[in-house]
Structure 1
Amino acid sequence: MSSPQSDTILSGQRVTGLQIRIVYRDGDGEIHFDWPIEQIPLALEDEKGTLWVEIDDQTQNTDRRVEELLDGVFHFHPLAIEDAVQDTHVAKVDDWGEYLYIVFHNIDFDPDTDLIRLHELDIFLGANYLVTYHNEPLKILDQLRRNIERDPTNRLKHGAGHLLYHILDMSVAEYLPAIEHLDEAIDSAQDEVFHRPTPSTLQAIFQVKRSALRLHRILAPEREVLNRLARDEYSPVNPEHRIYFRDVYDHVVRVHDITESLRDLISGALDTYLSAISNRTNDIMKAFTLVTVMFLPLSFLTSFFGMNFFGGTLEFEGWLPKRALFVGSCMIMLFMPGFLYLFAKRRGWF
């Protein structure tokens, strides 16, 4: 069994950041986990066998020897090879006659930040072989390889098309935990909106919205890919395997519908947040306005009389003494705010 190292010997040369793992089930049912690269043509001649070549290319620039493997050994079309080594970010299926070229996506979800990262997986499906190419580690492929190692007798016996079904099914299954977490995040954000919304609440809503939109953008073309695999006639796909792709297609449709409802929940949470902030702003402005109105008569009173009660002696000047004016002004200043407060409360202004 090949060891998962970052350096792999390819055609007698050591390549850093490139790993090629080959699993081959021959026509007699025996599985080889360390099938040599030089004997890939021998495995391709075995019509009853199943060959899985996994290319993990984490080099900054795609090594030309990968292209030589895809072109010189498998004889893939240069346009298909170019699409594989360069990220297209669009799920699709191209029919090249003897083989199919498929682009699919896996997700890497961080529950702490609600961030979704996409990982492109390029797949070549032939009559008796499957080639997967990716430039980032994919957990589903490691898991699938462990499943084959645990049950080597029953694995790969249904051919390369059935192996493709497992890869696509495991990819779609990764969407459900992410969507469930996003749904819980929206519920939590809605609770914060009703209790005490903060700017961090708005940031959380927008983060969930970005993740949901990213999921929605990739699910629509992936649904079309699975629909074509389930209904169209392709020579590398066994007609008996179409029902499996139809099952994955149903899963994608259900996930796509859930994301649609999730988008509605996000829009509702955002509208609720904006309404809550607007109502809170109105309450604050109402309180400030009430305070201003409460002190407006006081400002008028003090500005009108000048409040010069103790500038001279407390003798009679006119028909009222300064002491009486001072006491009366204080009584008005104490009574007026309370009166306006009770008046506003009785009218239900706050």
Structure 2
Amino acid sequence: MKIRLVKNGVFTPIEDITQTLLPPEDGFYWIDADNEDLLGLQPLFGIHDLAVEDCLSEDEQRPKLEVYESHYFIVVNSIRFDDEEIFLRSLNMFLGRHYIITVTKQKISELRAIKPILWKEEVNAADRMLYHLVDLVVDNYFLVGDRIEARIEQLEEDILMNTKKSHLTEIIGLRSEILWLKKGLGPQRDVIGALNKKELRLFDIQLQKYFGDIHENAVKISETFETYRDLMGNLREAYQSSVANRANEIMRVFTALTTIFMPLTFLTGVYGMNFDYIPGMHDRYGSIVLLFIMAFLGFGMFYLFRKKDWL
């Protein structure tokens, strides 16, 4: 657990947790904790049992906003896209009048990225830090969206150039990830909308209006991932169409080859019969003439098929 006094964006480490129980003369306290630390923080800050239970639960948490008497409990989902797989990680935040407590199960990049922003913006209030955190979380969705879009375009190009069975696996996997992610975007959008419109006494009224801009971005993200879902459906149809066209091309080649060899097979069948007399059978150059005729027929039919663009 790390405890910091944040004053105009400047961090001062705090060793004694009891110091955070009273408001500082200037600034606010940021307590960055994990689940085990939360059990010790609960009695000190009067954190509600249901909020603690949600943080400690192994189940995936939906974005939410819960208003308690002395603090707010806010959950948003941070996003990562590693090795073609999407990860959502819950960022749990407890906002009080003079403090903010962040609780995470895994490392979240936004908590590292927030530090230079606090310094640059000279942040001096806990609600402003929460605003910047939520803004970072939402902005990361745009970055992940750009990577997903690039992956979709690459898949489309690969399918058109050289269709492989592995492409279908990638399409199904990525589409499932997008659908799963889409289900969580609605609740997160609603939470940010509530931060913008709901009466929240722990938020500065002027600052609360800025959540409207974040909410617009959240709506755009939801619409963007809806588009990605449709694109994945189109990509699957393109894959199936490409496979069908490839099968047709192969069948066309096989049909042409079979047609070319039909007269050649006929000739070899005739001269393979056990009759005493067949024209040219006993001729000295009969076999050469027959091979020439067969070659002429074969190459002639091949030339005809190429000319008609059947091969």
Which stretch has the larger CA shift, 212-221 or 328-337? 328-337
Which residue of structure 1 aligns with residue 107 of structure 2?
137
Shift of 1:287: 0.4
Which stretch has the larger CA shift, 275-284 or 292-301? 292-301
Alignment of 1:298-337 (within 5 A): 298-306=264-272, 317-318=276-277, 320-324=279-283, 326=287, 329-337=290-298
Change (3 A) 1:216 1:30: closer
Change (3 A) 1:67 1:290: same
Residue among 197, 211, 218 paired with 2:184: 218
- Report if the CA contact (8 A) 2:271-2:281 is conserved: no
Change (3 A) 1:25 1:293: closer
Which residue of structure 2 aligns with residue 312 of structure 1?
none
Which residue of structure 2 aligns with residue 338 of structure 1?
299
Which residue of structure 2 aligns with residue 104 of structure 1?
76
Residue among 40, 45, 63 paired with 1:74: 45
Unmatched segments (≥5 aa) in structure 1: 1-19, 310-316
Q: Supply the distance in 2 between the matched residues of 1:256 and 1:333 (Cα, whole angstroms).
A: 67
* Matched-pair identity in %: 27
CA displacement, residues 64-103 of structure 1 (integer Å, 9 cap, x when unaligned): x531322x11112211110012243311222234322111
Which residue of structure 1 aligns with residue 84 of structure 2?
114
Change (3 A) 1:335 1:323: farther
Q: Supply the distance in 2 between the matched residues of 1:273 and 1:115 (Cα, whole angstroms).
A: 21
More helix by share: 2
SS at match of 1:155: coil
Change (3 A) 1:300 1:25: closer
Alignment of 1:28-107 (within 5 A): 32-34=12-14, 36-43=16-23, 50-55=28-33, 57=34, 62-63=35-36, 66-70=38-42, 72-87=43-58, 88-107=60-79
Change (3 A) 1:97 1:304: farther
Amino acid at match of 1:322: M
Amino acid at match of 2:299: G
- Which structure exhibits the higher relative contact order, with contacts defined as CA atoms closer than 8 Å and separated by 6 or more residues? 2
Alignment of 1:245-264 (within 5 A): 245-264=211-230
Amino acid at match of 1:155: V
- Report if the CA contact (8 A) 1:114-1:211 is conserved: no
Cα RMSD over matched residues? 3.1
1:193 aligns with 2:159: yes
Which stretch has the larger CA shift, 166-175 or 34-43? 34-43
- Say how many residue pairs are matched: 308
Shift of 1:209: 3.2
- Report if the CA contact (8 A) 2:89-2:106 is conserved: yes
- Report if the CA contact (8 A) 1:47-1:128 is conserved: no
Q: Supply the distance in 2 between the matched residues of 1:318 and 1:69 (Cα, whole angstroms).
A: 108
Which stretch has the larger CA shift, 252-261 or 293-302? 293-302
Which residue of structure 2 aligns with residue 127 of structure 1?
97
Q: Supply the distance in 2 between the matched residues of 1:190 and 1:233 (Cα, whole angstroms).
A: 47
Amino acid at match of 1:330: L
Alignment of 1:247-286 (within 5 A): 247-286=213-252
Q: Supply the distance in 2 between the matched residues of 1:99 and 1:319 (Cα, whole angstroms).
A: 106
- Report if the CA contact (8 A) 1:127-1:235 is conserved: no
Q: Supply the distance in 2 between the matched residues of 1:74 and 1:83 (Cα, whole angstroms).
A: 17
Which TM-score applies when normalising by structure 2? 0.84
Shift of 1:36: 1.9
Q: Supply the distance in 2 between the matched residues of 1:181 and 1:306 (Cα, whole angstroms).
A: 66
